[in-house]
Amino acid sequence: MKKIMAFLLAIVTVGAFAGCGTTEVDENPSGTVSQVVAGSVTTDGSTSMEKVIGFLSEAYMEENDKVKVTYNPTGSGSGIQAVLDGRCDIGLSSRNLKEAEAEELTGTVVAIDGIAVIVNRENSVSDLTVEQIGALYRGEIENWKELGGNDAPVVLIGREAASGTRDGFESITGTEDLCKYTQELTSTGDVVQTVASNPNAIGYASLASVKDSVKVLLVEGVKPTTESIQSGDYKIQRNFVFVTKKDGAMSSACEDFFNFATSGEADDYIIAAGAVPVER
């Protein structure tokens, strides 16, 4: 029994020391010595940007092992608020800044997200306009035959209320708060899976998450590809934005990461994360 007590005590002691250790590291200010960047960069915001920020921060931390880049998935709105409050270094937003927000903040586009509109492979419809997609989702077109498809009811698959993809899709197609969804699913994977299994379904998802199990629609004759998204020919797309304070100076670590993420170096990682890099 005594041994057990001693063991417990030992664990507690070690735990306490470990706690001290981490605080010391955290308090370590970024070195003034040139070249070596150290410190931490906190990012906060859009859940749609999880993959992009994940790839970028991992690649960056591999090069700069003294810097710790963290990501807090809260949503574009919360991320922007967090920068305003000074709770994070870089806010992540999957929409452009609103005018009021732009007064105090700067938005820098790091990547573009193409939202693909997908239907079941059995569906004969292959090209729609943004208006037609909007009409479908508003419930104005209820049968595929109105669009030249089979005589079958339209099943509208979408994302849950606060999803970044839903926000992006609805704002572009003019269907905000008007969608007559048949299903609201909580992940892109679910959307793809459901559309793949229901011959009458239509859904939307980030281009990167779309698999061969579904058919990607052309929008106004344009296929969603890297080129058509960069050139802006493909209509259903939105920007992934880094949000920073206008007046606050960035720490050297933060500035270094920011420069990396917005440089051509980051392109490969952005592509790997399934988004489209900005044209440079």
Partner 1 sequence: MKRAANFLEKAMNVIFTFCGFIAIAFVVLVTVFLLVSGIPAIKEIGIFNFLFGRVWASTAQSPSYGILPFILTSVYGTVGAVLIGVPLGLLCAIFTAKMAPKGLGTVIRNAVDLLSGIPSVVYGLIGMILIVPFVREAFNLPDGANLFSAIIVLAVMILPTVISVSETAIRSVPREYEEASLALGATKTETVFKIIVPAAKSGILTGIVLGIGRSIGEAMAVMMVSGNVANMPSLFKSVRFLTTAVASEMSYSSGLQRQALFSVALVLFVFILIINLILNLVVKKDVK
| Class of residue 246 by CB neighbours under 10 A (exposed 0-12, middle 13-18, buried 19+) | exposed
Residue 155 — φ and ψ, nearest 5°? -110, 115
CA dist 116 and 77 (Å) reads: 23
Note whether 1 binds partner 1 by CB under 8 A. Answer: yes
Helix 50-63 crosses helix 252-261 at what angle (to 10 degrees)? Answer: 120
Q: Decide whether 157 or 261 has the Cβ nearer to partner 1.
A: 157
Note whether 185 binds partner 1 by CB under 8 A. Answer: yes
Q: Decide whether 152 or 222 has the Cβ nearer to partner 1.
A: 152
Exactly one of 155, 216, 254, 273 binds partner 1 (CB under 8 A); that residue is 155
In this chain, which stretch among 29-37, 58-66, 124-132, 181-189 interacts with partner 1, using CB under 8 A? 181-189
Exactly one of 163, 175, 228, 251 binds partner 1 (CB under 8 A); that residue is 163
Q: Decide whether 147 or 152 has the Cβ nearer to partner 1.
A: 152
Smallest distance from partner 1 to CB 97, Å: 17
Q: What SS3 class is residue 271? A: helix
- Other Cβ atoms less than 10 A from the Cβ of 45: the count is 32
CA dist 106 and 116 (Å) reads: 28
Q: Decide whether 42 or 193 has the Cβ nearer to partner 1.
A: 193
Exactly one of 162, 189, 211, 213 binds partner 1 (CB under 8 A); that residue is 162
Exactly one of 108, 183, 209, 230 binds partner 1 (CB under 8 A); that residue is 183
Exactly one of 49, 116, 119, 201 binds partner 1 (CB under 8 A); that residue is 201
Give the residue from 54, 204, 174 showing the smallest Cα distance to 114.
204
Judge contact between 240 and 56, C-beta under 8 A.
Answer: no
Q: Decide whether 119 or 278 has the Cβ nearer to partner 1.
A: 119
Spell out, one character per residue from 32 to 71, where the chain touches partner 1: x when CB under 8 A holds, - when not. ---------------x------------------------
Place of tokens 């959307």: 191
Note whether 72 binds partner 1 by CB under 8 A. Answer: no
Note whether 197 binds partner 1 by CB under 8 A. Answer: yes
Smallest distance from partner 1 to CB 115, Å: 17
Judge contact between 214 and 118, C-beta under 8 A.
Answer: yes
Exactly one of 200, 206, 237, 251 binds partner 1 (CB under 8 A); that residue is 200
CA dist 171 and 176 (Å) reads: 6
Helices (H), the chain: 2-27, 50-63, 76-84, 99-102, 130-137, 164-173, 188-197, 226-230, 252-261, 267-272
Residues that bind partner 1 (CB under 8 A): 1-2, 5, 47, 73-75, 77-78, 152-155, 160-164, 176-177, 181-186, 190, 193-194, 197-198, 200-201
